[in-house]
Amino acid sequence: MASQEEVEAVAKGNTMAAQFLDQLGLVFEINRRILHPLGFSLVVREGPMGKYFEPIHVTQDPRGFVYSPEAFKEGEARLQKFLEEAGLSRIEKRVEVLGFSEQMLIHANETFH
């Protein structure tokens, strides 16, 4: 069984990850491009130990999740800021080294857009 210190360390790590990915606009982009079209959403919530991720799944509504215009604008601005400050140069370096930015799906690529 985990000690209280271990539990708190994991909670702190999860809090830092949730806050970090949210501030960079990466939660927005993961949701927009992958999770929302599949009926899922990764929501950042605030709890007693800080921010944490809460996955949500909607099966009944074929629209799934859609950002409000305000939330979309905010998420897009965070992502754009991150990409301009560090993300795009990181992607360019990855392409230089590997020859690609993201690993392509072999079989699912034809149906997953």
Give the residue numbers spanning the domain of 58: 4-110
Q: What is the pLDDT of residue 10?
A: 45
Number of domains making up the chain: 1
pLDDT in tens, 37-86: 989 999 888 888 778 888 888 877 788 889 999 999 999 999 999 999 99
Residue 5 pLDDT greater than 60, yes or no: no
State the burial class of residue 56 (Cβ atoms within 10 Å of its Cβ: 0-12, 13-18, 19+). exposed
Question: 15 vs 95, which has greater pLDDT?
Answer: 95
Question: First CA to last CA across the chain, in angstroms?
Answer: 43
The whole-angstrom separation of Cα 26 and Cα 56 is 17
